[in-house]
Chain A
Amino acid sequence: GNSVTQMEGPVTLSEEAFLTINCTYTATGYPSLFWYVQYPGEGLQLLLKATKADDKGSNKGFEATYRKETTSFHLEKGSVQVSDSAVYFCALSKTGRRALTFGSGTRLQVQP
């Protein structure tokens, strides 16, 4: 079946540090891949997405590239801010299956 694996958290960084949150997936065919962010006490917000291999999604300084050869969709940001502190979820969707498959989430804490 489909699955998404994210790195364990929490990830603690200082402001302006470089961020990488690893995400790998298992799925047949050609899923679409997403990153969602959940701020404390809030729902999920779509951060970025990619629908085919080698696509790069980007938003608010965050980027992720759909790598089919390594089945990965790692999230990166060059310089994090305290306001980026949140839980980040990697997810995939497959044609014919309405449920998104989510990873377990990675908590990011950015210290001033």
Chain B
Amino acid sequence: QQQVKQSPQSLIVQKGGISIINCAYENTAFDYFPWYQQFPGKGPALLIAIRPDVSEKKEGRFTISFNKSAKQFSLHIMDSQPGDSATYFCAASAGGTSYGKLTFGQGTILTVHP
């Protein structure tokens, strides 16, 4: 019940295309859903995050769509660029008594071809 399932494992997109990565969760106590971007040899860097009181959040070319009833959320990268090539992780954490423990998805390796 603590898992976050992420798909696809890998994604190849042409420059200018839209990259879409999906995540699903079971734990209804999750109330914070960040996406992290990780380049080789670096730690995860926060990209964008959403809470369940909104269904969509947009920051520049990055958009999170959130479907509370389906317990799914997704990351859309518009106008994908070669510099976006990285591993993307969705994550979730629960409020209440949690001290911020993040549960991560398996990761998606995104390759954007020029």
A binds B: no
- Contact surface of B with A, Cβ cutoff 8 Å: none
